[in-house]
Amino acid sequence: MKLVRFGEAGQERPGLIDTNGDLRDLSAEVADIDGAALAPETLARLAALDASTLPVVNGAPRLGPCVGKVGKLVGIGLNYSDHAAEAGMDVPSEPIVFLKATTAISGPYDDVQLPAGAEKVDWEIELAFVIGTRARNVSKAEALSHVAGYTIVNDVSERAWQAERQGQWTKGKSHDTFAPMGPWLVTADEIADPHDLGMRLDVDGERRQDGSTQTLIFGIDHLVSYLSTFMTLEPGDVVTTGTPPGVGLGMKPQVFLKDGQVMRLEIDGLGVQQQTCVRQPST
């Protein structure tokens, strides 16, 4: 299934995309696409519905982030071998973990803010997985059974704030709109192999990133197991798994986002998202 949330920001309703590409309203079935809706028994009930009997949503409503009420948004850094090489850094021996503020989450077609005073805002296409059942100290063998589905996250990053302002990466990753999510959550049963997905990002129509999850250093099963030893992963938590090469930081000379530029992101089987960069005025 392709599960979505549609409507104005803060007032999104649950929906699904049927086999014809039509948006159907799920409001009579679940309150939201959130942790409660991602339980295996609820997903099974939704999958058993005859989508043609659900109300069609006419027009072109805004698509919001495909998961609501996200409790934790966890990031993994330097998780592609070719991206580590691009950054001139050693392949990590363990996953590099950081947190993004959940207030950074935005819709897949919402504008991305370039904060006043920020000059090194960068793009990062990432495969994200969403937890469906609580994971605490789980083994790699059972890890994927805790994943409800997959989506795209643009891990937008202000590099100066991330690396030049002391402390942890979180403050370079957490500004409002720095985590566009969607367009939809694709349930895990529809993704045959999350470790074999092509991923592409363009800026103003120019290809910047063209990679594959085949070069992930730590796979989804490893990450679920690893993270669950340090924190309990709850239904609706989102983990974004790293980016392939082609970020602005790695270019020579470095290139960063400017007002009015358009990013387009696509991962095989997970759809397309697109954002326009908008410079925020000084206060």
Split into its structural domains, the chain has a count of 1
Going residue by residue through the chain, which has 283 residues, state the pLDDT in tens, using 9 for 90 and above: 999 999 999 999 999 999 999 999 999 999 999 999 999 999 999 999 999 999 999 999 999 999 999 999 999 999 998 777 777 778 899 999 999 999 999 999 999 999 998 999 999 999 999 999 999 999 999 999 999 999 999 999 999 999 888 878 999 999 999 999 999 999 999 999 999 999 999 999 999 999 999 999 999 999 999 999 999 999 999 999 999 999 999 999 999 999 999 999 999 999 999 999 999 987 6
Would the pTM of this model clear 0.85, i.e. be above it? yes
Confirm whether 72 is domain-assigned: yes
218 within domain boundaries: yes
Total residues found in the chain within this entry: 283
**Within-domain flag for 106:** yes
> What single DSSP character describes residue 233?
B
Contact 154, 113 (CB under 8 A): no
Q: Is 144 helix (H, G, I), strand (E, B) or coil?
A: helix
Cβ-based neighbours of 142, under 8 Å, separated by 6 or more: none
What are the C-alpha distances in Å from 117 to residues 27, 248, 263?
A: 41, 18, 21
Query: Which segments within the chain are labelled E, that is strand?
Result: 2-6, 13-17, 23-25, 73-77, 96-100, 105-106, 112-114, 121-122, 125-131, 147-154, 157-158, 179-180, 185-187, 198-203, 206-212, 238-240, 262-267, 271-279
196 part of a folded domain: yes
Q: Which amino acid is at 131?
A: I
Distance CA 4, CA 24 (A): 9
Q: Do the domain assignments include residue 58?
A: no
Q: How far apart, in whole angstroms, are the C-alpha atoms of residue 9 and residue 207?
A: 30
- The one-letter code for the residue type at 223 is L
Q: What CATH number has the domain bearing residue 130?
A: 3.90.850.10
Residue 260 located in a structural domain? yes
Which structural domain, as residue segments, surrounds residue 186? 67-279
Burial (CB count <10 Å: 0-12, 13-18, 19+), residue 62: middle
Residue 140 forms part of a structural domain: yes
